[in-house]
Amino acid sequence: EPEVTQTPSHQVTQMGQEVILRCVPISNHLYFYWYRQILGQKVEFLVSFYNNEISEKSEIFDDQFSVERPDGSNFTLKIRSTKLEDSAMYFCASSDLGSSNQPQHFGDGTRLSIL
Amino acid sequence: GQQVMQIPQYQHVQEGEDFTTYCNSSTTLSNIQWYKQRPGGHPVFLIQLVKSGEVKKQKRLTFQFGEAKKNSSLHITATQTTDVGTYFCAGVRGYQKVTFGTGTKLQVIP
């Protein structure tokens, strides 16, 4: 069964540094998402992306965050100047139709640790 | 902003007992999805409910969507140890914005 893959599985970064989290969505999917989950807490929506542009974003997704689909397969989340509170698990998800119609398939996540 | 709350936050049950988690949204939803997250894992889609009052079953799991499309429930009959995990509802409002609920962590005691 096709999977969403995320790399790296664990990223340790100094506070203030930039970090890029990478995702390869399922190949025929058109909608891409980033979520974060602070340890022991709920899954929080960050952003959705369709047709090479952001379609929805949450209050969490401020100017420190950006997303990009640099080629036909990768979908990245960049955090420009990381803060301690950015430490969390970051999940990428994809769906072949919008979330109002189809479920999202999640990757295994990247655990981001900010020191 | 939209809030989706779930109760209870934690539930410990003896294997074989039933379990129910309730999900309430502050706003009317287009549809609701349910996900299960095993410890250390990622959310895995279980089901989607779209119609007001809809009830769907998957083996021992029964999902219900409220008449006002603001609440939902998941009921597991005769729990098994494989049911352990956190169950999240996810409210879909608008086109692609998904708000996950606070989750109910289920522990099943053998």
**B48 and chain A: CB distance < 8 Å anywhere?**
yes
pLDDT tens for A2-12 read: 799 999 999 99
Contacts of A93 (CB under 8 A, 6+ apart): A4, A32, A33, A34, A35, A104, A105, A106, A107
- The structure tokens 């429930």 sit at B73
The verdict on a CB contact (< 8 Å) between A43 and B96 is no
Pick among A43, A67, A90, A104 to test the B interface (most B CBs inside 10 A): A43
Residue pLDDT, tens place only, B11-32: 999 999 999 999 999 999 988 9
* Dihedral pair phi/psi, residue A97, rounded to 5°: -130, 175
Q: For the segment A45-68, what is each residue's pLDDT rounded down to a tens digit?
A: 999 998 899 988 999 999 999 999
Does residue A70 register a pLDDT over 90? no
Residue A82 burial (CB count, 10 A): 21
